[in-house]
Amino acid sequence: MADQDPQRPSKQLDAHELTQQFEQLLRTRRLNALTDRGRPRHPAQSSPYPTPTPSRQSSHRGPHPPPRPAQNNAPALPSYSSLRNMPKVPSPPQDDHSLRFRSLLVGLSFKPTHYENPGLLDEALSVIPLDRIYGEAEDESQLLQAKAASIGPNAKPEWGYQDCVIRALLRWFKRIFFSFVNNPPCPVCAAPTVALGMTTPTPEERARSATRVELYRCSAGECRAFERFPRYGDVWTLLQTRRGRCGEWADCFSMLCRAVGGRVRWVWNAEDHVWTEVYSEQQKRWIHVDACEEAWDNPRLYTEGWGKKMSYCIAFSSDGATDVTRRYVRDAGKHGADRNRAPEEVLVWITDEIKKLRRENLSKEDRRRVIYEDHREEKELRGYVVRALAAEIGRINLPGQPPASGEEQKLPERASGTQEWREARGEAGNRSPHNDQPPREGH
């Protein structure tokens, strides 16, 4: 550390100042790297010193000899730190792995387009107790407004009325409407069942978008009846069955959020989990919502609460696709998994392709709005990286200083599903013996 002014008292490391310093450092490095790339290189300029020419004026009579030219004229390779912050140039997929990844993401991008079906929206509204939802939202909104007014005349409520509507919907959906399925009960005697594996979907199940069907058998010796558990992907069917696991929960809840006027995203995680994001007009950002856990604005839940390692988190909406992994994986070294499905430039190309496909029919005003939101979100995601670095620096203890208190908080472990099921998926917290293993069941 530099010597401090004796007139000023010493102060401990401040996370906000560190964040500003890191942002300035990243901008400076990026500008220097771009300047170096754009500067032409000539053989005569490869050395940092001019090559002396044999002349009378070149003789040096001072006490120090003239600097000698560098022996190696090859330009030095750029450091990793300079390349890491360079803007990525989108590149189309070429190899088989990248092409398969593109096919997967383009297929997943159609999921939120189903939420725009007017018939489904009407059906969804018919099952929601609107009086209850809007009543709870109004009460919470007034409470937040009163709390803001007590702080000062310019203070704003933390959440707006529409946010309170989604929060009330989340509580009702989790506690009353939908149920989580571990092993479905026997249809004959209601006894517990035992999993037998997967079976072929029937034509009717396929018509309701069930590409996978789990088969179970009753554990009662005198019954031994079979039970099928189709993993439906049709939202209308889920409004009738009202049961499932993560996939069904996120799909149905996202549809209900859209029905009450929310802007929604369906977020896919490569490590076999899905959830919802809802746009908050009050905070001008996308909010993490997991209906399975009744979680609101807690994106670090999966890595720091469940002990889950994550590689890709892609958010799909009717406006396109966005890689939001940085929102959910704050410490890539500790909680990040290998991102080896495609080069990063290819992933940027794929998400840009999906955005172009989804936005081609938007008006100029709407297109301008979503582009502005894209820029704001990218700034938010970069800020998570900078703050993570600042927090890591803040945890370094200098001689004579007490241990620095970081911003970590104990996050809850996963509540949905049985303990055995959570351990098999590596989602039972840091105590799980399988948290480094890939998931073995579908979401």
Catalytic center residues: 246, 273, 290
User: Token pair of 68, please?
Assistant: 């000698």
230 membership: H or E segment, kind and range? strand 226-230
Distance CA 285, CA 290 (A): 16
Q: Tell me which DSSP letter residue 320 carries.
A: E
- What's the number of CA atoms in the CB half-sphere (13 Å) around residue 281? 11
- Sheet strand arrangement including 313-317: 295-296, 285-290, 273-280, 264-269, 313-317, 320-323
Q: Which residues contact 430 (CB under 8 A, 6 or more apart)?
A: 307
**What does the alpha-carbon distance between residue 398 and residue 8 come to, in Å, rounded to a whole number?**
19
Which residue shows structure tokens 């989340």? 170
Strand order in the sheet with 213-218: 193-199, 213-218, 226-230
Query: In the block, which residue shows the tokens 């890591």?
Result: 392
Alpha helices, H only, 194-289: 203-207, 235-241, 246-259
Distance in angstroms (rounded) separating the CA atoms of residues 369 and 224: 58
Three-state SS for 30? helix
- Rg of the chain on CA atoms, in Å: 28
Q: Which residue has the tokens 């104990």?
A: 410
For 218, the 3-state DSSP assignment is strand
Q: Are 206 and 198 in contact (CB under 8 A)?
A: no
Structure tokens at 155: 């203070």
CA-to-CA separations, 319 to 107, 170, 299, in angstroms, rounded: 15, 23, 21
Q: For 93, which DSSP code?
A: -
CA–CA gap between residue 32 and residue 317 (Å, rounded): 37
Distances (CA, A) of 227 to 168, 176, 214, 232, 233: 34, 24, 8, 15, 19
**Which pair of tokens denotes residue 126?**
């018919």
Q: Is 214 helix (H, G, I), strand (E, B) or coil?
A: strand
